[in-house]
Amino acid sequence: MTTTTSEKPLILVLCTGNSCRSHLAEGLLRAAAGDLFEIASAGSKPAGYVHPLAIEAMKEIEIDISGHHSKHLSEFLDRNVETVITVCGNADQACPIFPGQVNRHHWPFDDPAHATGTDEEKRAVFRRVRNEIRRVFTAYADGRRDALKARRA
């Protein structure tokens, strides 16, 4: 049986601006567990764009987030959100409780949008943060997958 998007539990990744970290996490988690969960991201004060260096950093690992757009978390207040994951301190403070919310995690990461220096130095910060997010969210996806297998056994 194929699961449709509407049947999958929704995991919402929140960050203040919804321009970098939350999109990196959304893309990585979708790649790791998109077969099990619907993944979305939003912000408490959306920047209105996805940072070009975030798109570039993800393209380097063959994940395309160029179609993502910056959204306000209020777009999800009427959705049944199973898990909320905040990736910055401000979003953790501003995060409401969503209908159906069962889990909440707070895993803060540096904001690569604040990187300074040459273009290559900025790219290096985006890559570092992308790799940190990748480690955490891949482990999370693996844990969720293992828990589902154990429940089915």
88 is catalytic: yes
CA-wise closest residue to 10 among 82, 106, 64 = 82
Is 20 designated active site?
A: no
Q: What is the pLDDT of residues 42-83, one digit of tens each?
A: 998 999 999 999 999 999 999 999 999 999 999 998 899 999
| Listed residue (5, 25, 122) closest to 68, CA to CA | 25
The pLDDT of residue 3 is above 60: no
Q: What b/e sequence results for 54-73 when a residue is b if at least 16 CB atoms lie within 10 Å of its CB, and e otherwise?
A: bbebbeeeebebeebebbeb
Q: Indicate which residue of 24, 95, 115, 141 is catalytic.
A: 95
Question: What's residue 91's pLDDT?
Answer: 57
Q: How far apart are CA 31 and CA 39, in angstroms?
A: 10
Residue 142: what residue type? D
Map out the domains of the chain with their CATH numbers. Answer: 5-148 (3.40.50.2300)
Which residue out of 10, 13, 14, 15 is catalytically annotated? 15
Whole-structure pTM value: 0.90
The pLDDT of residue 88 is 87
